[in-house]
Amino acid sequence: MAFELPPLPYPKNALEPHISARTMELHHGKHHKAYVDALNGLLTGTPLAAKSLEEIMRATAKDPAKAPIFNNAAQAWNHAFFWHSLAPKVGSPKGELAKRIDREFGSLGQLAEAFKAAGLAQFGSGWVWLALDRNRLAIVKTANAVNPIVLGQIPLLACDVWEHAYYLDYQNRRFDFLDAFVNALANWEFAAKNLERAARGVRAGALPHVA
């Protein structure tokens, strides 16, 4: 079956004033949809057409001949994960996630600063992730479509630092976009649930909205 563009988990204007409805229209309705459509075209008539996005990513990540398939599959997955990494109303990390942030980063503020620094240090297009790396929290920056799954890590939260994610609202001020993400948009409840799933041994790609 062909992949479909998943709906946003909130109205397209729900993240204003930090991310505008116009940005969401273009980012979700144009960019994300383009990855899904391109992937479907590339998979037609191939054995990969019956696989999940995670299976496709794992099968193609290290094969240069299949780079177009990997790029579109990973971007389709990354964006589905990104929408859920954002929330109109956010609190602070709770439970085991909060304990681990304090233990491994010192405080949420220190995690936020490290996250923003990683986002600024990502040259060109890419992503910044809060991930589990060998059962420790880690901030991971990746180029282009690469994600923690193909690096052997478990993603908990993601921020898109491709220019199309923020340029209409922030122009070249990536720092301001990252600052808004960590202070006003990061869905810590989603990250906590992903941490709980990882503790139960549920693979990252099994998340209902991205499988």
Answer yes or no: is 107 within a domain.
yes
Alpha helices in 12-157 (DSSP H): 21-26, 33-43, 53-60, 67-85, 95-105, 108-121
pLDDT at 211 over 50: no
From the list 106, 99, 92, 76, the residue with the least C-alpha distance to 196 is: 99
Question: Which sign does the torsion angle of CA 201, 53, 81, 165 carry?
Answer: positive
- Return all residues near 110 (Cβ < 8 A) that are at least 6 apart: none
Query: What is the pLDDT, as a whole number, of residue 204?
Result: 52
Answer yes or no: is 139 within a domain.
yes
Answer yes or no: is 56 within a domain.
yes
Query: What is the pLDDT, as a whole number, of residue 33?
Result: 98
Q: Give me the amino acid identity at 114.
A: A
Tokens of 150: 């193909």
Answer yes or no: is 2 within a domain.
no
Share of the chain above pLDDT 90, in %: 89
User: What DSSP state is assigned to residue 166?
Assistant: T
Number of domains in the chain: 1
The answer to whether residues 56 and 48 touch, using CB atoms and an 8 Å cutoff, is: yes
Task: State pLDDT tens for residues 91-148.
Answer: 899 999 999 999 999 999 999 999 999 999 999 999 999 999 999 999 999 999 999 9
Answer yes or no: is 6 within a domain.
no
Q: Which pairing describes strands 136-143 and 126-133: parallel, antiparallel, or unpaired? A: antiparallel
pLDDT at 158 over 90: yes
Query: Rounded to an integer, what distance in angstroms lies between the CA atom of residue 42 and that of residue 56?
Result: 12
pLDDT at 177 over 70: yes
Can you give the CATH number for the domain in which 75 is found? 3.55.40.20
pTM of full prediction above 0.85:
yes
Q: How confident is the model at residue 200 (pLDDT cuts 50, 70, 90)?
A: confident
Surface-to-core class of residue 151, CB atoms within 10 Å of its CB (0-12 exposed, 13-18 middle, 19+ buried): middle
60-68 contacts: CB < 8 A, separation 24 or more?
Answer: 61/146, 61/150, 68/38, 68/42
Domain hosting residue 73, numbered range: 20-211
Query: Rounded to an integer, what distance in angstroms lies between the CA atom of residue 115 and that of residue 139?
Result: 6
pLDDT at 209 over 60: no
Answer yes or no: is 94 within a domain.
yes
